[in-house]
Structure 1
Amino acid sequence: MDRHVSTSHGEVIREDLLNLLAQSENVPLTLLLAPPGSGKSTLLKHWQQRPSRYAKIYVSVPLREAHPDRFLHRLTEAVAARFSTFDQAWPERLNKGMASSPLALGEGLAGALERLDEQLCLIFDDFQHITVADLLLIMAALLEHLPQSVRVVIASSQQPDLPLSRLRLENRLLHIDEQALRFSVQEIKALNLLLGAGVIEDEAACTLLNITEGWVTGVKVALQSCARQSGRTAVRFNGDQPQIAEYFAQVVLRPLSPVCRDFLMYTALFERFNGEACDQMLQRSGSALLLEQLAEQHVFMLPIDQHPGWFRYQRLFREFLIHRLAIEQPERIGLLNGRAARYFLTRDDPEQALRHAQDSGDHALFRDVLAICCARWACTGHVLRILEWLSAMPDEELLQDGRLLVPLIDALILSRRFHQAGYYLDQAAQGEIEPDCLHCQKLTLQLFQLDREFELEAGWQALLEPQVAIEIRARMLIINAYHHLLRARLAASLRFASQAKELLAQSGWLFLESYADLIIALCQRNAGQVSQARKVVCTDFQRTDSASPAWVNRATAMVVALHEQNQLGAAQELCEKLLSRVNASSATEAIATVYIILSRLLHRGHYPERASRLLDQLSGILQLGNYARFVAQVIQEQLRQAFLSGRVQLMDDLARRHRLDELLAEGYWEVAQKYDEYWERLGLATVYWLLAKGAHGRALRVLGVLAKSLRQSEMRGRALIVDANLLVLNAQHLDKNAQREALLRLVEEYGVANITRSVFDEAPGFGEGVFGLMRSGILDIPERYQQLYAEFLAPDQPAQRLSAPGFASLLTDKEVEIFECLLKGLSNTQISTHTGIALTTTKWHLKNIYSKLNVANRTEAILSVRTRPIS
């Protein structure tokens, strides 16, 4: 956090905090609540020196004076010393004839303060020492009857036992907590200068900030220690440091009971904890109540945001407690960690369970916990976690424990470490893995390694028998489904994938279920069942937690659905999110889809350099395996983008690099063959190249061969794209009515719902031709379809400045700039980058624009500008 900092008289002046504290003049009560050593008293001292319309009276509360009589006497003297008109005899008159109750005394004090001729701010420091019930009642009554001219500031290291709910609800209480009081990097650097240690680099200051969490006393001790050691101890500074340890021992632990002291030491073994965790570890009850009490005492125990009832210790304090436990009761550490490991297993928190099992020193327990965690990670798809934990295990241990070896091999296959997976499979043949499981894993490795060259070996059907474990049967169904998908046998692939999905949903294998979903979506898309695919994809995506690896597969399918529906802004935003999530363990289908669609969207949005870089990056990723069909997808997209940009020289270079000229000369596309994606994609890329060179006749011949092959396959989605390209090329020889008839035949054959964004993208000129016929009045297009592809209604009109008569009176200058970006087809994220404003601000501006133009969304906004004056 950046803060305004200054120095004066050898002290750091925290200007922002002083400005915040100045707001105390606007509310009856300000509560400065933070652990000892957080800089509360220093801040109050500096604030007292600031000019104010309120007279400030500072009252520190030493432990020995926290008695009603002594406290009231001291307070009365302090006020009287500042105000000559103050009635010092008010307590005696109130007590005259009878003993006043605490409530009467508090009300009487409020009345005496009300009669002052100036505004007053009472500052009570070290308020945690006030524990006597009568004195707390006096303070409560004072706050209840506080005059308008009086303000109260309370600084305490514990939550004061005062009725503050009403003040909070009425927004009449200013609360400054330990988070606000933490030192910033700027303050650390300023303090280091004041200590005479010179300039400290930002990196070193950030390191100390992380170690101390901005705790003021910790920062000071750390800087002093660094200065003594010439800055070399910054990263090694911890809770064992003598000055810190002494501070914690004397200020924090000493006032506590032995029970609380032990409780803190034991629970310091946790990184985070709640009452239930503490009860399980300590074999006791009532920990939740004790945690609440300790939290109120601010013993460096911090609540965890968005997890009510969960806490953690401040880093230095935790290190101190663990060090004390190791000295005083080392024999309990293993036992306590073992109980904690079992507790976190029941909570399905594998990382915490493993850490505690490891720290317990019980290796057998650690292996048992690790086996359970790896089995769970295999189900959820957390492949990298499996590799992270098992990579440290010796081979001899892994090979002796099938519980660890099976998930390791699966993780290696999914992360494309095929040679390592093959090595462990060979070693596992000695009998540590159950035969059916071993057979299934070998087939999985072959499928991923060989891709379209994979063939199912004899005997695989035995793995689908009812007596075989459900997860092995499901995996075999997925292997079959993917095998048939690669060979364009979509009906068979869809059948196997649907059966696998049902079994996996029953057995809880969420990641493999999402893999089946991806296969199903690809089958339906390629089969020309776009509407059906869209419904299933949306449902699966909405029900999946974004933190799950399964989300990557379902979000990839969702990207395709959004792109096909021409929701390009939403598709790009989801692609950007996915780009940071896809990794070596993601399905190659997901990786290729995300990179290619995002590249396509960026190229359309006039970001050709980044679009090209993404395709180059994907090419590098695909070199890690046998991925000829994905390479062909990249080549097609590279040629498509170069064609649309008119970069003929680049197309020639790409054609030579990928041997398209040689393949063409060899007659690679002279005769129709059984469908092969590599052959088809390279063929379409070659068509773009030929068209750029003006070789329309040769391009038509290649398209004709591709079309013949596709019509004999189940790949109706790809056949539509080739037929759309044929229609565009043939249109130049047809009159408008003949073009209309050809288009209607295409629509009748494939259905208008299947003429999606991919068709318009991969058949350049098709969209302009279709909507050109509509503008000529020769073709009727459903209104909803017109709205979906509104950009094609005026393809010859680039985004222009809006005329004053049309919009200047409606939109602000910033809204005009944003609307121009929208008309160029930029996504919300791109608009934010272009205009230099935050994404949330962009969305707010767009909402205002839609409202002013009386439209509901982007499409209607684009349509509205087509019908209004544009200059």
Structure 2
Amino acid sequence: MPGRQGAAPDRSAVVGAADVPGRKRLGLIERRDLVAALEHAADKRVTLISAPAGSGKTSLLRAWAERPVAHRRIAFLSVRPGQRDPQLFWLALLAAVRAAAGAGDAVEPPAAMPGFNAGAMMEKILSEITGSDGGFFLVIDDLHELGSAEAVEQLAALLAGLPPDVHVLLATRQDPPLRLHKLRLAGELAEVRAAQLRFTEAETRELLATSGVALPDRVAGMLHRRTEGWAAGLRLAVLSLTGHPDPEQFVAEFSGSHRTVAEYLIAEMLERQPPHVQRLLLLTSLLDRVNGELADLLTGAAGSERILLDLEDANAFVVSLDPGRSWFRYHHMFADLLRLELRRTCPQAVPELHRLAARWFAEHAQAVDAVRHLQAAGDWTEAARLLADHTVSLTLDGHAATVVALLRSFPDHVGEDSPDLALVHANAALHQYRLDEALAHLGIARSYAATAPADRRARLRMAIAALDLLLARLRGHFDAVSEQADALPSQATGRSTTEVALAGDLRALVLLNLGVSESWSLRLADSERHLSEGAALARGIGRPYLEVACLAHLGFASATHSLARARHQCEKALALAARYGWDTEAVIAPAQAAFAGTLVCTGEFGHAEQWLERARLVTRSEGEPGVRILVRLVSAMLAAARGRHREALAELAAAEEVQARMVGRHGLPARVSTWTAATQARLGMADLAWSTLAGLDGQDTALGEIRTAAAVIRLAERDPAGARRELRPVLDGDAPAHSLLTPVEARLLDALACRALGDDRAAGEAVEHALHLAEPDRLILPFAVTGAWALLETLPQTTSHAALVADILDAVHGNAPAPAGRPAAGPAEELSPSELRVLRYLPTNLTRPEIAAELSVSPNTVNTHIRRIYAKLGAGDRSSAVQRGRELRLLANGRT
């Protein structure tokens, strides 16, 4: 998407075994004993390296990882400063694992989304790890930067369930709350502390020699004692001593350790740097990460990238973040001290530096960094405006927790007075299902938008429309949807790349929420149009989450036209979700439930149960009510098809409970009520069934689904004539129907009524008509749930729908039809199309001349085809040919 991919990396640095951060640099020594100790420690399930800043944790991990060891894979992750979004942490970890396992280019890169299923993500990571050969090592550096308690808790669960050949190394400034005591008691935890990381006196001398600094042994020993072997202090001393005119005096004049030493040595080091290098280090120290272009902007000079590369090569506390060495960060302690020096020497420059950085990050689609720098500059109004503009996009990018953290960083008076932040609060509340709070904040934002400056008004209105529609979806307040349709934003043109990107996000989100709301209101033609447009737009702007979300709802929206079309839409959505690793996320639940519904309708009950279970797993109790109702309804349909009417009734009652908590009227509860009434009647609760129908809104009473439910009750009351009167408007086409099932069910109920009245001929005609209506979509459910399948075994079979009859009987007897495209082992020689047509008449009672008449061919031609059919199927008679045809799934129309 234009403007979406900024130049700065947005996630933690992730690399595989072949590309561990950093590279061989000057002034480093091989701490063989320490690396060997870590090698031994890494055999434990978990190794914890816990020590203060500057202790050499990252250098130790780098040295260990660079050792050539056969059959070892290392996934390396450095947690980015201030990482608060658990999803982004886990996605970065998954990317690191895939890179180490060699699967990075073979699969779609992991993508962020508004929701997050941590359990599924951990299973995915473990699956990737266990699928690789040899020992697997997962290294997480700077774990103290992980500011999400949720992510830490999830990491603890991952550590508790590691496979035997997987080892984890954690580097942190303080012990994390990971419940490691159990591993410690079990002897599965190795610990490396600050004392073990300290340089020995011998290592200190080696470091000096490697760096070209010549000191007498007495002075080198003094340096070791003064620094107490602290790695960062020694490195700073070496940098200061290089080229110093009086090294002995330098060592003699400073004392103390850690911060005191660091402050002294950093001043020494800075003073020895050329002025332009000092300026670059100080002015860019307030950045978490820097590249050449950004450094040039802040310093007002060119050539910054070359300086950063040279500093990294000189081991001057500068580390590259990417293989191309275009982005860098300073050692955390080094950056802290540089910032102190910047505030001491030129405090007046700090706000303007933050503003310059904010402008650069905003122009490069890095809104989080831009907002943070505006906040640091004290530009609260501009920070609020920028956060409001980007809040929807940031949420789509998986930064919901970061948005909340940014909100909390505003002073109280800004939070109260800023109408921009009302929009941000509303968005955050919606994604935490605090719907009343979201409604109140949207009211404030709407009032502000009416009087906002012209250049902001359109964007605010788009954002408010998107969130209004989402609120309507979650509250079930669909009466307001048609009012929002007029606010549908147009495509943005003629503005900046970032503005076009933001407008595209908002328009796609509006189309999604509008289409879903229309779907649940049963305005299905409008829904299909808006969801299709939303999916196309999302695909064009690089928003796979929105594309999957639109496609996931299209299956239900298109089901009234064609079951095959609905199934195709569901399969398309499911395939795209699987491609992005979202097959266990709530976003795909509508497609899973709708797909299960199509399978129930076609009698593939076992297959339907599998998909329905997936939908149940990803449908949370606080999730979207429309999806939860759909899952319950499909579950009830499946139970009813299997004759488990009490189970079906329980599912329908659960669906009604969801509806009762909704503000408005959902389109599905009318179907729920008709299924409830019919199920109650089948359980002998006729009076209760009538009460259920009586509770429906007046506008529903003319629906075909109501008339068929009433007919079921009449039949349960042994009133077949009354049932036929109820069905007459449906049979005549005067009662509108929302479902493809209704016309078929009405014919079957009419057949049952005719049979009860003793009119077998009329019953047969009604069954034949039902088969004709069911044939295009292979609708089996109405035959199963009404019990009319029994008529297929008792009435004379003169039907031309023999294949469908076979499938119906297979389904109700427990032999579910095989899914299309999965035939059993075929005959020795394939049947020709003409032979297949003849074969499909063999299950009927038609004679050979009658089959010839149906096909408009001569009886001799039919005889020839039958002989060839017998030979190819290895059958000796008509009955065995039919049986073999069923086994091979050759009887269904359209199959070969």
How high is the TM-score relative to the length of structure 1?
0.48
Higher relative contact order (CA 8 A, sep 6+): 2
How high is the TM-score relative to the length of structure 2?
0.47
